[in-house]
C-alpha cells in the first residue's frame, strides 16, 4: 500500500540533519509501470460508494475523474474543494467525479465525512485487499497521493497527475475531442523520468546521511564536514530542494550550512557554530519573503531555533560583539517565529508550534530579549503567539494535540509574566 513516509505531495519523513527540509512537492514513483496515458482504463470496483450514485462500470460517453486520497493526507484534503468545483461546473456534461479513498477502513472514512462533509461529488472506499489501489495506482507506478486519473468517453486513460493541475480548460478539451493524448503521454513519461532521477538522488543522499551520522557518533569532525558538503550537493538533485533552489540562485549554501552547524554543535565548537549560524542568517534569509519558500523556512525554523538556543546557552563571548551577535540571533528568531501556520492546517504544523515554543527555547529567548533590551517587543510577540494558539485550541479536535497546546499556552503565560517582573530588564525596554 501507500508508504505514508514518502508519498506524492506529502512527505511525512523529515531529516533532522537537513532541518526538516523534506517538504517535497512530489514523491518517488515505483519502477514497475504497465498503466499509462492512452491505455484502456482498468476495471473499477470499489468496495462501496459512500456518497453519490454507485458506479458499477465506466459507461461509454461519460468522462470520469478518479482522484485517490486519504483522510490523513493534507494536500489531498486541500484538493477536495477544487474537485467539488469541477463536479459543480461540469454537471450535466457527462462528467463524473469520484474521490476514491485508499488505505483506510470504511468506518474511518465515514467518521471523517460526518465531521468534514465533502460536497456532493461521489466518495468511495477501497476493498480490504486494496483492489482499486492495486489496479490503478500500483499498476501506474504511482505510489503517492493525491493522484488523479481521467478516463475518457471511450474508456481510455487520458490524463494522470495532481488534481490541482486538472483545469476546466483541460476537461473541456477532453470532452470536445481536442485534447492531445499523445502529447500528454509524452509529458507524463518525461515527468516519470524526472521523478526517477529524484528517487535515485534520494538514495544517494540517504547513503551519505548514514555516513554523516556515523562520523558524528565517532567524533570524526573533519569527515562529517566533508560529508556535509557532499550531502548538500546531492540534496540539490533530490525533489526536496528542486523547487526551492531557483530562489537561492541555484545555491546549496543554506542546507550545507545547516549540516555544518549540527557538526559544530556536536563538536562543542561554539565559535564556529556562531559563525555558521550567522552564515545561515545570510544564506537562508535572502529570499524568505518568497511565498513558495515560507513552508520551507518554517520547517527550517523548527530546528534552527533549537540550534540557536543551544548556541546562546553556550556563548563564550562578551562585550559589544556578544551584544551584536545576540541582536542578530534575536532578529533571526523573530523572523522565523512571526510566521504562523495559516497556510496549512495540519496536525504536523500544530506539533511544530508546540516544539518551537518549548520551555528550553523560551528560557533562551528570554535571555536574548533581556540582553538586547527588547523586552517590550518580546512581550508583544509572545502575546500574539499566545492568541494564535488560543484560536487553534478552539478548533483542535485531537485530544493529545489539544493537551500539548494548552501546556504550550501555559508556558507562554509564564514567560510573559517573567518578562513583566521588575528587574528582569536592565533598561526597561
Instruction: For residue 181, give the CATH number of its domain.
Output: 3.40.30.10
pLDDT at 176 (0 to 100): 94
User: Do the beta carbons of residue 197 and residue 28 sit within 8 Å?
Assistant: no
Q: Could you tell me if residue 429 is inside a domain?
A: no
Q: Could you tell me if residue 13 is inside a domain?
A: no
Q: Could you tell me if residue 103 is inside a domain?
A: yes
pLDDT at 344 (0 to 100): 39
Residue 43 in this model has a pLDDT that exceeds 70: yes
d(CA 36, CA 425): 66
Q: Could you tell me if residue 1 is inside a domain?
A: no
Same domain, 244 and 295: yes
Query: Band of the pLDDT at 425, cuts 50, 70, 90?
Result: very low
For residues 295-312, give the mean pLDDT.
Answer: 50
Same domain, 225 and 89: no
- Number of domains the chain is built from: 2
Own/partner long-range contacts of 131-135 (Cβ < 8 Å, ≥24 apart): 131/45, 131/47, 132/44, 132/45, 132/46, 132/100, 132/102, 133/1, 133/2, 133/68, 133/102, 133/103, 135/42, 135/43, 135/44, 135/45
Range in 80-94, 212-226, 284-298 with the lowest mean pLDDT: 284-298
pLDDT at 19 (0 to 100): 25
- 358-395 residue pLDDT tens: 776 777 778 777 776 778 878 887 888 888 788 878 87
d(CA 257, CA 276): 6
- 150-164 residue pLDDT tens: 999 999 999 999 999
Half-sphere exposure of 84 (CA within 13 A, CB side): 13
Q: Supply the mean pLDDT for the chain.
A: 75
Same domain, 333 and 407: yes
Same domain, 56 and 139: yes
Same domain, 311 and 355: yes
Same domain, 131 and 235: no
pLDDT at 284 (0 to 100): 57
Same domain, 185 and 314: no
Range in 50-59, 60-69, 133-142, 371-380 with the lowest mean pLDDT: 371-380
Query: Band of the pLDDT at 23, cuts 50, 70, 90?
Result: very low
User: Do the beta carbons of residue 204 and residue 231 sit within 8 Å?
Assistant: no
Peptide bond into 185 cis (omega under 30): no
Query: Band of the pLDDT at 210, cuts 50, 70, 90?
Result: very high
Q: Could you tell me if residue 78 is inside a domain?
A: yes
Residue 159, beta-bridge partner list: 150
User: Do the beta carbons of residue 170 and residue 187 sit within 8 Å?
Assistant: no
**Residue count (the chain):** 429
Same domain, 147 and 290: no
DSSP symbol at 66 = E
Residue 217 in this model has a pLDDT that exceeds 60: yes
* Domain that includes residue 179, residue range: 48-189
For residues 105-113, give the mean pLDDT.
Answer: 92
Q: Could you tell me if residue 280 is inside a domain?
A: yes
Alpha-helical segments (H) within 218-318? 221-235, 239-242, 253-267, 270-283, 294-313
Amino acid at each position: 500500500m501507500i508508504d505514508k513516509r514518502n508519498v506524492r505531495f506529502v512527505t511525512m519523513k523529515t531529516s533532522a540533519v537537513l532541518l526538516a527540509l523534506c517538504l517535497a512537492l512530489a514523491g518517488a514513483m515505483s519502477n514497475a509501470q504497465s498503466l499509462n496515458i492512452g491505455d484502456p482504463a482498468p476495471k473499477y470496483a470499489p468496495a462501496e460508494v459512500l456518497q453519490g450514485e454507485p458506479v458499477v462500470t465506466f459507461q461509454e460517453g461519460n468522462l470520469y475523474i478518479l482522484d485517490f486520497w486519504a483522510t490523513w493526507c493534507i494536500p489531498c484534503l486541500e484538493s477536495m474543494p477544487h474537485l467539488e468545483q469541477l463536479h459543480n461546473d461540469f454537471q450535466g456534461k457527462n462528467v463524473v467525479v469520484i474521490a476514491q479513498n485508499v488505505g483506510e477502513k470504511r468506518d474511518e472514512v465515514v467518521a471523517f465525512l460526518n465531521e468534514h462533509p465533502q460536497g456532493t461529488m461521489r466518495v468511495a472506499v477501497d476493498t480490504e485487499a486494496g483492489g482499486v489501489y492495486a489496479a490503478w495506482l500500483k499498476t501506474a507506478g504511482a505510489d503517492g497521493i493525491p493522484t488523479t486519473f481521467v478516463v475518457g468517453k471511450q474508456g481510455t486513460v487520458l490524463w494522470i497527475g495532481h488534481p490541482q493541475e486538472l483545469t476546466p480548460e483541460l476537461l473541456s478539451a477532453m470532452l470536445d475531442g481536442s485534447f492531445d493524448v499523445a502529447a500528454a503521454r509524452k509529458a507524463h513519461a518525461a515527468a516519470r523520468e524526472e521523478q526517477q532521477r529524484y528517487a535515485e538522488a534520494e538514495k544517494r543522499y540517504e547513503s551519505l546521511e548514514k555516513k554523516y551520522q556515523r562520523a558524528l557518533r565517532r567524533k570524526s569532525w573533519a569527515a562529517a564536514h566533508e560529508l556535509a558538503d557532499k550531502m548538500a550537493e546531492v540534496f540539490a538533485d533530490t525533489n526536496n530542494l528542486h523547487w526551492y533552489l531557483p530562489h537561492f540562485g541555484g545555491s546549496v549554501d543554506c542546507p550545507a550550512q545547516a549540516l555544518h552547524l549540527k557538526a559544530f554543535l556536536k563538536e562543542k565548537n561554539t565559535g564556529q557554530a556562531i559563525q555558521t549560524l550567522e552564515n545561515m542568517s545570510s544564506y537562508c534569509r535572502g529570499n524568505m519573503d518568497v511565498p513558495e519558500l515560507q513552508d520551507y523556512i518554517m520547517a527550517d525554523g523548527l530546528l534552527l531555533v533549537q540550534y540557536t538556543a543551544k548556541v546562546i546557552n553556550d556563548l563564550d563571548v562578551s562585550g559589544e560583539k556578544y551584544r551584536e551577535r545576540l541582536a542578530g540571533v534575536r532578529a533571526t528568531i523573530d523572523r522565523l517565529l512571526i510566521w504562523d501556520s495559516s497556510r496549512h492546517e495540519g496536525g504536523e504544523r500544530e506539533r511544530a508550534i508546540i516544539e518551537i515554543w518549548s520551555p528550553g527555547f523560551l528560557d533562551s529567548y528570554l535571555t536574548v530579549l533581556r540582553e538586547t533590551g527588547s523586552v517590550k517587543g518580546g512581550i508583544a510577540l509572545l502575546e500574539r503567539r499566545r492568541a494564535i494558539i488560543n484560536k487553534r485550541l478552539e478548533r483542535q479536535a485531537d485530544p493529545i494535540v489539544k493537551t500539548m497546546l494548552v501546556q504550550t499556552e501555559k508556558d507562554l503565560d509564564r514567560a510573559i509574566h517573567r518578562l513583566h517582573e521588575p528587574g528582569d530588564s536592565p533598561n526597561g525596554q
